[in-house]
Amino acid sequence: MASFVRGLKCRLCGKLYPVEPTNFCTDDFGPLEVDYDYDAIKSVLTREAIAARPFNMWRYRELLPLDEAPLVGLQVGGTPLVRANRLAAILGVSRLWIKNDAVNFPTLSFKDRVVAVALSKAKEFGFNTVGCASTGNLANSVAANAASAGLEAYIFVPADLERAKILGTSVYGANVIGVRGTYDEVNRLCTQVAFKYGWGFVNINLRPFYAEGSKSMGFEIAEQLGWKTPRHVVAPMAGGSLIGKIQKAFQELALLGLIDQPRCSFYGAQATGCNPISDAVKTGKETHRPVRKPNTIAKSLAIGDPADGYFAAKVIRESGGWSEDVSDPEISEAMALLAKTEGIFAETAGGVTVAVTRKLIEQGRIPRDEDIVLCITGNGLKTQDAVAGCLTEPAVIGTSLEEFEPLLDRSREGQPLLV
């Protein structure tokens, strides 16, 4: 497999760097991004070539930053794009789809995409030990993929994370370190650890490669819509990377002549308890003001000082999109709504996305008769407590039919089973 990567490039000043485990420009501390030879890619990557490959993220491998065939996460991606007519009816829109990364393999979130690239790259660089700073899903994914790749993993998380996310990390045999602090404080510690021990931290020194993995969600959306982009995309934002990478994916497909020039507006979704990017968009600030103490049940999105906040706000603004944030009760209620209408149990971030979409439709920011795709990024089984308060307890009866029949009567009258 040939590599189509020319090097790394500063997103602020354009300075070029060789392919190395580094993530910032030494001149201006701007983030580095992978630079590709698109002319060379164009000569090999056709719709037919893509269609002939297995339906996972690697069918777009020329647009991902590896030198060799992938070594980690070979089955990641290829998640369903679901036409969501029942949710559409409730929201009052005509054409709605859900890109469902709640069923991504192996750890049920879109983070498997970024980790597949980051750990494959870590192997190419020769790292034996990898790590991350995480709000939960990244921890799960690094731990699982490192286990299957035979890599040692050190995972740093805020100590107050959901139990399921901690357990779903330690089960893979990773070294899990709960840090008493916010995600931003965890991240700062990890920067020191990465530097001191020379390990590959997926979202620090491997970040330029890691972030490219998110593009595969955008490639799949366009292909699954029949090589078309939707008019509107709503995505949850934590560090603010995913939303910009979906836009980049659409632009790359157009550059390669695989789709028409996209006209797509991007909408970023956050929780009100940690809304640095949506606040920047709504108040017209160019750079966000960090949230020092995030306070929301959407812990996976609780990054107070998002690394790509500036770029996310720019993508939203320049695409004609918008950003909103929603309260914890709205998040829980929207998790239940998505499950009841579409049979999709998403985590808190999914509740954020659905609730923000509803708000933007009500505000008239998203029109009712154009194609809308919602990015559902994580699985509800990991954040069960967040929705428990919205549900009724199951009715418990004895083993006789007589005890069931009154329940059935109540149910047919539209009453709750339990009295």
Ligand X SMILES: *Cc1c(COP(=O)(O)O)cnc(C)c1O
Q: Which residue has the tokens 């000082």?
A: 305
Q: Determine the interface stretch with ligand X among 16-24, 230-238, 366-374, 395-403 (rule: CB under 6 A).
A: 230-238
Binding at 377: pick from ligand X, Zn ion, none (beta carbon under 5-8 Å per type):
ligand X
| Phi-psi domain of 394 (left: phi exceeds 0; alpha: psi -120 through 50; beta: other) | beta
DSSP labels for 344-395? --B-HHHHHHHHHHHHHHHTTSS-TTS-EEEEE-BBGGG-THHHHTTSPPPP
Q: Which residues contact 414 (CB under 8 A, 6 or more apart)?
A: none
Token pair for residue 41?
């890619």
Binding test (CB under 6 A) with ligand X, winner from 66, 190, 237, 274 = 237
Binding at 205: pick from Zn ion, ligand X, none (beta carbon under 5-8 Å per type):
none
Residues 367-386 that bind ligand X (CB under 6 A): 377-378
**Dihedral angle over CA of 322, 81, 368, 364, nearest 10:** -20
Binding test (CB under 5 A) with Zn ion, winner from 1, 2, 7, 13 = 13
Residue 28 found at the interface with Zn ion (CB under 5 A): yes
CB of 379 to ligand X, least distance (A): 8
Q: Determine the interface stretch with ligand X among 40-48, 76-84, 162-170, 239-247 (rule: CB under 6 A).
A: 239-247
Residue 236 found at the interface with ligand X (CB under 6 A): yes
Binding test (CB under 6 A) with ligand X, winner from 131, 213, 239, 262 = 239
Q: Which residue has the tokens 């995480």?
A: 134
Residue 300 found at the interface with ligand X (CB under 6 A): yes
CB of 136 to ligand X, least distance (A): 6
The CB-based long-range contact list for 11-17 (8 Å cut-off, 24+ gap) reads: 11/311
Q: Are 130 and 200 in contact (CB under 8 A)?
A: yes
Q: Are 40 and 224 in contact (CB under 8 A)?
A: no
Binding at 30: pick from Zn ion, ligand X, none (beta carbon under 5-8 Å per type):
Zn ion
Q: Are strands 16-17 and 5-10 parallel, antiparallel or unpaired?
A: antiparallel
Binding test (CB under 6 A) with ligand X, winner from 100, 107, 229, 241 = 241
| Alpha-carbon gap, residue 91 to 354, rounded angstroms | 9
Binding at 239: pick from Zn ion, ligand X, none (beta carbon under 5-8 Å per type):
ligand X
| Alpha-carbon gap, residue 371 to 359, rounded angstroms | 17
x/- track of binding to ligand X for residues 95-114 (CB under 6 A): --------------x-x---
Binding test (CB under 6 A) with ligand X, winner from 137, 182, 187, 275 = 137
* DSSP 8-state class, residue 269: E
Binding at 12: pick from Zn ion, ligand X, none (beta carbon under 5-8 Å per type):
Zn ion
Which CB sits closer to ligand X, 218 or 240?
240
Which CB sits closer to Zn ion, 25 or 298?
25
| Residue numbers at the binding site for Zn ion (CB under 5 A) | 10, 12-13, 15, 25, 27-28, 30
| Residue numbers at the binding site for ligand X (CB under 6 A) | 109, 111, 137, 236-242, 300-301, 347, 349, 377-378
